[in-house]
Structure 1
């Protein structure tokens, strides 16, 4: 099989295509001939040495794939052989063959291409946890989606639109027409406008019910200040650290120094709450994840879950795909094809 390996920390040139024998499924596992693999910003942070959960190089990253089951291990259902599926992988997704526990495998809806299916699990599950499970977003409330043109941003627009919330977003102006078409109500170009002042004006000074923020550092303080009473801040990334020109872990240090401290007493006085989401730390809750996925797959059938693949790259062009995502040129998902 072919795999894209991070051979060291650094730029996209640290991604190398290698060949290795096909794996055999262990007890309770299935083997998938991969057609498409989703790319996430965590993969870029791992390549840069900024993602603490990632094993040290050489390592194959990737959290999600879609393809066809061609073998099963003991205790796995042999009826899965020949099925088109999507699966969550705990690293290893940048491969054209993967073995994963059967409990992390879901039948691919006929309505989705393999590329769309590979782009669904991470961003939609993350958005669901942020908006529904922990953010408790309700019809008539407002949500501010930072990086609204990214994978999680588009998924959050779909979910918030389904709930009936008012949707604000930050994104570069070139992405605004597409995001309005997807369901956003108000958009702010964060590059040319102070988004906090814009939100203050748009909400008449009240603030927003829920803000989801993947930026990290000082941005979290700014987001917290833009909440209304009973508002919630969902933090789910530190993507701002990747843009720093500082070497290695010094980037994380600069981001950490800018992070706010949320003390319980001011939180009580402000009637606000903050929470964090890291889907990569939910592997011990497979039943919970399966239930969320079932609801999202129902959403595919009903038409309100609409995975959008901005661009696909062949497996050998993984470095080019990383550059494309790192430069924030995408709207929605970037996917590797085997």
Structure 2
């Protein structure tokens, strides 16, 4: 575990929010395993709303598995949760995070299929960014022996989402073509790998130019996100593409629909264009919404096009399709064991470095998945530098707000 107490640097100590840890005042000390470290979101807003604090350790209820967390996945969706731009978020304070990997520590009553000591990965309906989580058994999966904990934390959400969009929604088959935005991200790289398991699939990837060297071998054609990619795609494929996977929304919706071949499928699975600054911006939201092409059902009928949406978390936690997801996970683990797919991990961060990790996602700087490594000690220099940069950024925002 990351060292605490006397071994913890001053830079890290001041990140621990004592006020948020009040709920643990009446429980036994962490030495008796009644408390744990967790990332707490005190309220919706900027990076300053995140703190590492002590929290009462959960215990498994009936049908739940208690997991000693080793690694957690960090997604763009978590950034949107922090800003409060998602629909019906829980009332803060809350512990963010939707996926993790670790070791089974105990199980609740009437919980079958797992034993203490099993290496697992799991979906969690919030609360994943902590040393211990409890989640229903239907959301837990055993890890392959060769899979590391960071890989497992990078696997479940990205690959399940990519697989279901390609095969369950769009019915990807031999010889088809796919355009994917944010091709350098965790889902983008999962899409590229899964497409490679189907013969003669052409992948058009859109990504920032500084990522091209690292990911050019994973896709067939790669374009800079700041160029007119529509014209570039049409030069290579005048009829367009069969599948468009869009995590951006805004003006890209109309462009994606325009690129579809007859019987093609456009899938929206994110709206990262609505996030521009550090905090929620009504202007950015309104601009992105205004840029979305208003879909005319008659036009879809005339052009033989399909438009769809996909949210894995809603499918799991609101619509109860965990059995379908479990079937998909079995197929994905078979592909992993056959060495046909492998999650791409961008970097590992300590819980105390969550602000820096989240900023890297905000800057679209990651290639693959960012991981919070629960046992990683924070880098003192990084923490000190980031706190200084954050203070300067908040000062600049406050200054210009007064002009």
TM-score, scaled relative to structure 2: 0.81
C-alpha distance in 2, partners of 1:115/1:293? 17
Structure 2 equivalent of residue 289 of structure 1: 325
- Would you say the 8 A contact 1:140–1:166 is kept in 2? yes
Deviations along 1:284-326, one digit per CA (max 9) or x if unpaired, are: 1110110011111111101112101000101111111100111
Deviations along 1:57-96, one digit per CA (max 9) or x if unpaired, are: 2111111100000111100138521111001101111111
1:239 corresponds, among 272, 285, 288, to 272
Higher alpha-carbon Rg: 2
- Would you say the 8 A contact 1:116–1:307 is kept in 2? yes
Deviation, 1:222, is 1.0
C-alpha distance in 2, partners of 1:45/1:66? 22
Deviation, 1:246, is 8.3
- Classify 1:241/1:167 alpha carbon distance in 2 versus 1 (closer, same or farther; 3 Å): same
SS in structure 2 of the partner of residue 325 of structure 1: helix
- Would you say the 8 A contact 1:49–1:248 is kept in 2? no
C-alpha distance in 1, partners of 2:190/2:301? 31
C-alpha distance in 1, partners of 2:347/2:322? 30
Matched, 1:178 2:214: yes
SS in structure 2 of the partner of residue 243 of structure 1: coil
- Would you say the 8 A contact 1:313–1:335 is kept in 2? yes
- Would you say the 8 A contact 1:72–1:78 is kept in 2? no
* Structure 2 runs not aligned, ≥5 long: 1-35, 375-403
Deviation, 1:274, is 0.6
TM-score, scaled relative to structure 1: 0.96
Number of equivalenced pairs? 335
Matched, 1:223 2:256: yes
Question: What aligned pairs does 1:1-338 form with structure 2 within 5 A after superposition?
Answer: 1-77=36-112, 79-164=114-199, 165-182=201-218, 184-191=219-226, 193-203=227-237, 205-243=238-276, 247-283=280-316, 284-338=320-374
* Structure 1 runs not aligned, ≥5 long: none
C-alpha distance in 1, partners of 2:186/2:114? 32
Root-mean-square deviation (CA, aligned residues, Å) is 1.4
Deviations along 1:254-304, one digit per CA (max 9) or x if unpaired, are: 222222222221101111111000111112111011001111111110111
C-alpha distance in 1, partners of 2:211/2:283? 32
Q: Greater CA deviation, 228-237 or 52-61?
A: 52-61
Deviation, 1:247, is 4.9
